[in-house]
Structure 1
Amino acid sequence: MTYSALLRAAALTALTGGALLPACTPRPGASAAAPTPAPTNQFALDSTLRRIATLQDERRTAALLPYLARPEAGYREAAAEALASVQDKAAIPRLLLLLQEEPAARVRQLTAYALGQTSDSTAETGLRQHLAEESDATARRYVLEALGHCTSRAGLAALTRLPPALATDTAALSGQAWGLYRAGLRGLTSEAAVARLVQLLAAAQPASARQAAANALARTRGLNLAPYVAALTAAARQDAHYAVRSAAAQALGKAATEASVPATLAALVRRDPDYRVRISALRAMTAAMYAPVKEAAWAALTDDNDQVALTAAEFFLAHAADEPGPVLLEKANRLAPWRVRATLLAAALRQTGAGQEAIRGAVQERYAASANAYEKGYLLKALGEDPAAFDFVREATFAPGQSVVVGTYGLEALVAQRHRPGFPAARQPDFALALRRGVLSGDVALMGIAAEAIRDPKLDLRRLLAKTDFLVAARQKLTLPRDLEAWQSLQQTIDYLQQRKPTPVPVAAAATHPIPWDVVTAIPAGQRAVVHTSKGDVVLHLLVNKAPGSVASFVQLTRQGFYDGKNFHRVVPNFVAQGGCPRGDGWGSSDYNLRSEFADLHYGAGAVGLASAGKDTESCQWFITHAPTPHLDGRYTIFAQVVQGMDVVSRLEIGDRIDKVELLF
């Protein structure tokens, strides 16, 4: 079987709950997917593909380049995709040459993808020249998106105007929209680019183009979208796809000065059938809209979906002004979901006026009564809004035998208190001593959080903690790569206090944990795993052909029972549910790091990615996306896709248990 045939056989039609783009697959127009996965993965059949993947893992650009000249198109595909993970600018000249000379359309697509992954403007001219010569529609889409990654400010105008010959090419329209999205994420935009994105948002445009345009308008910073409120409103209310409605609703927050926007957002919160759109509408609401949207936000506190209710509570925490604290306390006490309740209690504590002591006491009583470490942590987070609770939070943070989860939340709450305007100047030395205690605690989370606070210029701690000896002593006790995040935080603080250039991050080399090919070759291309959670089962398809090192690590940890009994420690509404941390607070790791595997895959709903502290620092933690999150594309490894149980994913909450992960045979 050829390499291309294997790819087609191993592809998966993802169940994305109505997502515009199938998660973890090339965008429309790329290689066709077949419904039945191959029983054997490509690496078990071909030692050359194993060699290419090994060179990718070892970041050996020079050794990969000759494979771009192999007579077999499959090897050229694999080498181009491997260079997309390596992201070495030294490969640009050879990739540009391949783009011009390559006869196979799929190779040209992956070559353009690899060039985009370099994010280097030296690729811009070659990509632009090739666009006029490219005969394959899908390859043109890839080239246009790559241009968005690589374009200079001067070149943005050309990306904004398609050649007349491509004006009705649906693939080119999609590519242009994604290109403008990628440019916008880099801070490159213009009035003409915004106007073009609004055109691409229209109902007559291709679905992929509409999704890209809506996301670009939502995520590009500094835009004033008031002139386009009618188009945004139409998309938010009427588009057939929730992902477009969701992003358009988010973009409406940048048109807050328009009188119609609050009513539109309030209506979406009350009526849109998809919980993700309701969340985006709540997030788009600003402090300036508070009065006209407040009633819709009150109602959302009891939404059937707890993620919506939590987002409503976060709205009040961020924007409530002059609300009586006791009223917020009363409403919070009637709410059942603990995270929603704790967040509204935080909003109550943030208010000024009578009743603060009673609110503080109520939060402290709930803390004492709760047996849930995550709820206790969130209640400390709520007390982070109240500097008067400093002693209570400090004692809870450093209590003997305390759960690491509680300690992590507690120190974060102390830092939050110090940031509050009412923090007493007389307590600043006590705060500094708490940070020093955190650094010397030996707990990686407390060390990392405390070090970050010490180097925060807003807290002005140089005069109280000027010496670095205790930071150096703490850093020397850490083990790399396991404790990389804490090490990095401590080192950054040492560099800050010593006023020297940042020290490079010591990323582990591939030799410390090479891809275990004996494990990889035994994994079927259609391998599935079921995550048994306290809310129900989630079934994953493991993408061994696209991320062999990451899948092998997940399989090995699963066989060891590593994930059994762990928790989902991070759930961000309409974004991700994350688990796999051995500590349960996000600061845990395995004893090794993996290298990033950035295949030509995209984060749609249900994509499963590896968390990291930067490129090539992946470990044991993984997350599942609730909705398309294209800003993660090419930055976080995708190693699996949810094929069953997205309804469970949408209900997961912090603290929900991973009872067991099993491989399905």
Structure 2
Amino acid sequence: MNRPDRYRRYIRLALLTVTVVSLSPARTGQNEEAKERRSKIETILRIQDTRSIHDGKLISLLTDPDAAVRERAVHAFGSTQDTSVINLLVDRLVNDGEPKVQLEAAFAIGQAAGQLSSPRRERLAHELIWTRLDQLRGPASGGAGPAERLIEEIGKFGTETALTDLMRRFGNEEPPVHGHALVMSLARFAIRGIVAEEGVLHLLKLIKPPDAARWEAVYALQRIGDHPILKNSIEEIAKLTLHADPLVRMHSATILGKVKNENVSLIPLQKLADSDPDWRVRVNALKALGNLTLDGKPGIIETFRRSFFDGNMNVALTALSVFGTAGLRKDSANASAQVFSDLERIAANRENGFLWQLQAEAASAVAALEGGAAIPIITPRGSPRRPLDARLLVALGTTGSPEAAPLLSRYLGQADPVLYRSALEGFQILVEKNRSNRGLIQKMYDAGIAALSVHDMAIVTTAASILGDSLLLRPAAAPRLAETLERLRVPDDVEAIQEIAATLGKLKEQSAVDALRKQLEQPDRSVVRACASALKSITGRSYTSEVPTFFEPLFTDFDFAYLNALPETVRVKMETIRGDVMMELYKQAAPFTVMTFLKLATQKAFYRGLVFHRVVPNFVIQGGDPRGDGWGGPGYSIRSEFSTRTYERGSVGIASAGKDTEGSQFFITQSPQPHLDGRYTNFGKVISGMDAVDKIQVDDHIFDVKIVQD
């Protein structure tokens, strides 16, 4: 028994040795291939992040034998948005054998083509619609294919002619193979203000019968808005308010508010505002009602009054905000007497019975509706809540009463930059409402000049904007603006530099030329372009030749060891005062954004204790600003990483002041927002905790952000 067993062991050992020897070259080859792929992808990521496409390396990788490398190379052009490679992208679109590469090529074309001249956009769209679409292969795995992607992308850049061509080509398609793509393309055309009658009629067909309507078609109609054909079909739209899908109901409410047929719209909108189970629908219904005339409609006024006390804060805040735009007088009707009483009670908040966010919104509404009579109610009383006093200062300006000027002046020169800037903003609104009051105008001018000397980017930006107002444009301001410009630096002062350049361009003072020319050496494309534009306004000649084609980023972090060590699925937990929010981050779609976010969160505890400074009900919550007012960041900027990811409910994006100006501020969407696609870096999604997201309000704290280990 022992000998045969021993022999069998020897045989197994020999076979194993042969197997290992025979597999080693293959495994070595696989490892080498993986190593080469990783090296090429890291090269692509470096080029994409530095925007250094001029050396030809990225272009050469468009035809790499490895499909994964080609896909990543094409993907990079979706962020660089370089128009010089559109022909190469079209080639990849139609000739690459990998559908994923084709899909990325379609996206990159849509991202870049919007920067072309109108004739070039028209020629490109014609070629794509009538020639290239026929050459595309089947769908990529797991979703829509390159043809569908391309049809949708044409909506980002196509002209009126392109829209007509799309409808001729696919409007009567049976079966509607490209139906969803065409709907989203129509929506993207409408976002850009391009609408065709045949497109509207096509969308209206898709909402019949009403219970079969999909939210995307209603969204597209909502983006089209007040169109004659929609006016004639408003009764069909009103039926959608009974739809089972809250997205259909919320967008149909918006349409009713835009078309403004009160005979048809009033009752459905009131029902939605009063009793829809989804708070987002109630928000949209209230906004829609705000577009209608409220005077003489006690039932609608009562709907708003009840909504002031809605159990959902987003609904209550929307009701207060919208009512402030109603233009009602306090004594216009018995119904309004009660609503004004409640409004004033919330704005005064004398016994602190209301949350400060409600008080701030009510104060803005009272200021707009009652003017100077609201001043005793809304004058700041030194609240421990800085955001409340900031809102009250702006509300003082909203009253339009010159009596608010001395109250605002007390806060000019404040050590607290948030209150200082809010006082400037309030004063600016006050002057706008008193454009013939020379005394106020002079005080505003003096305040703007004084604010230029403050070492705070937000205050300087606001001051430059004030001095750029047509009422305040004075040649005497040019030297102070130019002097301020010379001390500002990138990246911290980008927005201030841009605003000063814009004001100097309006002034057209030759004395500012030298200061503006020095700014052409700044390592920021947006700054250089703003200053070149101002110089052209002053001198009459183009400075395009002095704008570099390549800008070396001030901050890069090519820590590929860190990136590669991250799991393929990266999950983080954001602990907030309203509960935990679990998020999955898109490591592949936005690697540098994900890495920056994680390093800030885990290595620097950057987000610990910060607040959400911006909440727009049924749109976004936004946080991550160390200043707490929307003007702060980490002290550097990173580049945009655009992708085919769409903004759905719970998408996580990075806030920016324009392309390649991202930092630490992030936002989470509360409903689908297609107009953000391809414009803001989409780097994750909420996988649990949307109930907490929906409860978060301005000044709510983030306790911490942590990586979740599987």
Q: Could you say which TM-score interval applies, normalised by the shorter chain?
A: 0.7 to 0.9
Q: Which residue of 2 aligns with 1:550?
A: 593
Question: SS state of the match for residue 96, structure 1?
Answer: helix
Residue 205 of structure 2 corresponds to residue 199 of structure 1? yes
TM-score scaled by structure 1? 0.86
- Give me the TM-score of the superposition, normalised by structure 2: 0.81
- 1:177 paired residue among 183, 206, 223: 183
Q: Write the distance in 2 (CA, Å) between the matches of 1:310 and 1:213.
A: 29
CA distance in 2, matches of 1:333, 1:287: 27
Inter-CA distance 414–528: structure 2 relative to 1 (3 Å threshold): same
Match 2:363 to one of 310, 321, 345: 345
Higher helix share: 2
Q: Distance in 2 between matches of 1:595 and 1:255?
A: 40
The question of whether the paired residues in 2 share the 8 Å contact of 1:515 and 1:552 is answered with no
User: 1:414/1:312 Cα in 2 relative to 1: closer, same or farther (>3 Å)?
Assistant: same
1:227 to 216, 227, 232: 232
- In the other structure, the counterpart of 1:538 is 581
Aligned partner of 1:85 in structure 2 is: 79
> What amino acid does structure 2 have at the position aligned with 1:215?
Y
Q: Deviations over 1:82-112 (max 9, x none)?
A: 1111111111111112222222222222211
Which residue number corresponds to residue 217 of structure 2?
213
**Inter-partner Cα distance in structure 2 for 1:99 and 1:422:** 56
Q: Which runs of 5+ in 2 are unaligned?
A: 1-33, 332-336, 529-550
SS in 2 for 1:260: helix
The Cα offsets for residues 602-632 of structure 1, whole Å up to 9 and x where unpaired, read as 1111111111111111111111111111101
Q: What is residue 38 of structure 1 aligned with on the other side?
A: none
Displacement of 1:482 in angstroms is 1.9
Note if 1:505 corresponds to 2:526: yes
Q: Which runs of 5+ in 1 are unaligned?
A: 1-41
Distance 2:408 2:365 in 1: 17
What is the letter of the counterpart of residue 625 of structure 1? Answer: T
Aligned position for 2:273: 269
CA distance in 1 between partners of 2:35 and 2:318 (Å)? 44
Aligned counterparts, 1:354-433, within 5 A: 356-357=372-373, 359-364=374-379, 367-386=380-399, 387=401, 388-399=403-414, 401-402=415-416, 404-421=417-434, 424-433=437-446
Render the CA deviation track for 1:408-455: whole Å, top value 9, x for unaligned.
322221211112248743221111111122222222111111211221
One-letter code aligned to 1:474: T
Once structures 1 and 2 are overlaid, which stretch shifts more, 112-121 or 318-327?
318-327
Tell me the equivalent position of 2:6: none
**Contact 1:534–1:658 (CA under 8 A) maintained in structure 2:** yes
Correspondences of 1:573-592 after superposition (within 5 Å)? 573-592=617-636
The 2-side partners of 1:428 and 1:527 are apart by 54
Measured against aligned partners, the alpha-carbon deviations of 1:15-62 in whole angstroms (never above 9, x if no partner) come to: xxxxxxxxxxxxxxxxxxxxxxxxxxx999822222222222122443
1:287 positional shift: 4.9
Q: CA deviation at 1:218?
A: 2.1
Alpha carbons of structure 1 residues 167 and 437: separation in structure 2 relative to 1, 3 Å: farther
The separation in 1 between residues aligned to 2:695 and 2:327, in whole angstroms, is: 27
**Contact 2:290/2:326 (CA < 8 Å) preserved in 1?**
yes
- 8 A contact 1:610–1:622 mirrored in 2: yes
Letter matched to residue 106 of structure 2: A
Range with greater deviation from structure 2 (465-474 or 426-435): 465-474
Output the CA distance in 2 between the equivalents of 1:491 and 1:428. Answer: 22
Instruction: Specify which structure has the bigger relative contact order, considering alpha-carbon pairs within 8 angstroms and separated by 6 or more residues.
Output: 1
Whether 2:165 is the aligned partner of 1:158: answer: yes
1:167, CA displacement in angstroms? 2.8
Q: Deviations for 1:188-207, whole angstroms, at most 9, x for unmatched residues?
A: 11222222222234458987
Question: Is the Cα contact below 8 Å between 2:260 and 2:291 reproduced in 1?
Answer: no
Confirm whether residue 57 of structure 1 aligns to residue 49 of structure 2: yes
Give the distance between the partners of 1:164 and 1:227, measured in 2 at CA. 21
Deviations 1:546-572 (Å, cap 9, x if unpaired)? 111111111111120111111111111
Pairwise CA distance, 1:594 = 0.8
For 2:467 and 2:172, how far apart are their aligned partners in 1? 57
Instruction: Provide the secondary structure at the position in 1 that maps to 2:381.
Output: helix
Distance 1:105-1:295 versus aligned 2 partners, 3 A rule: same
Confirm or deny: 8 A CA contact 2:364 2:395 kept in the other structure. yes
Q: Decide which moves more: 80-89 or 132-141.
A: 132-141
Letter in 1 for 2:589: K
Give deviations 1:461-519, integer Å, cap 9, x for gaps.
Answer: 114x6431211222222231122122222222222222799986238633632433232
Distance 1:214 1:148 in 2: 17
SS of 2:572's partner is strand
Measure the CA separation in 1 of the matches of 2:348 and 2:36.
58
The amino acid of 1:396's aligned partner reads: Y
**Identity rate of aligned residues, in percent?**
30
After the TM superposition, which residues 489-504 of structure 1 pair with which residues of structure 2 at under 5 Å, given as runs? Answer: 489-498=499-508
| Alpha-carbon distance in structure 1 between the residues aligned to 2:367 and 2:48 | 52
State the alpha-carbon separation in 1 of the partners of residues 644 and 185 from structure 2.
16
| 2:325 equivalent in structure 1 | 318
Of 591-600 and 214-223, more deviation after overlay is shown by 214-223
What does residue range 110-129 of structure 1 map to in structure 2 within 5 Å?
110-118=104-112, 119=114, 120=116, 121=121, 122-128=123-129, 129=131
Residue equivalent to 1:461: 472
The DSSP-based 3-state class of the residue aligned with 2:565 is coil
Q: Where does residue 560 of structure 1 map in the other structure?
A: 604
CA shift, 1:141, in A, is 1.4
Q: Within 2, Cα distance between the matches of 1:583 and 1:512?
A: 21
Output the CA distance in 2 between the equivalents of 1:582 and 1:369. 22
Summarize the Cα distance change of 1:393–1:565 in structure 2 as closer, same or farther, 3 Å threshold: same
Residue 598 of structure 1, CA deviation: 0.3
Match of 1:439 among 441, 452, 465: 452
C-alpha contact (below 8 Å) 1:611/1:621 kept by paired residues: yes
Cα RMSD (Å): 2.6
Secondary structure at 1:154's aligned position in 2? helix
* Range 313-322 or range 213-222, more displaced: 213-222
Following superposition, the deviation at residue 333 of structure 1 comes to 4.7
1:339 and 1:378 in contact (8 A); partners too: no
Which among 28, 34, 40 is matched to residue 48 of structure 1? Answer: 40
CA contact (8 A) 1:67 1:79 kept: yes
Shift of 1:223: 3.3
Following the alignment from structure 2 to structure 1, what is the Cα–Cα distance between the partners of residues 435 and 106?
A: 54
Distance 2:398 2:526 in 1: 34
Q: 1:229 to 1:91 in 2, by over 3 A?
A: same
Do the aligned residues in 1 keep the contact of 2:225 with 2:258 (CA within 8 Å)?
no
2 CA distance for matches of 1:43 and 1:648?
Answer: 42
Partners of 2:658 and 2:289 in 1: how far apart?
32
Residue 655 of structure 1 aligns to a residue whose secondary structure is: coil
1:543 alignment partner AA? Y
Other structure's SS at 1:653 match: coil
Check the 8 A contact 2:210/2:239 in 1, yes or no. Answer: no
- Residue 272 and residue 97 in structure 1: after superposition, are their counterparts in 2 closer, same or farther (change >3 A)? same
Q: Following the alignment from structure 1 to structure 2, what is the Cα–Cα distance between the partners of residues 522 and 437?
A: 51
Match of 1:475 in 2: 485
Distance in 2 (CA, whole Å) between partners of 1:435 and 1:233 is 49
Q: For 1:361 and 1:506, locate their aligned partners in 2 and report how far apart those are by CA, in whole Å.
A: 43
- Contact residue 256 and residue 289 of structure 1 kept, 8 A: no
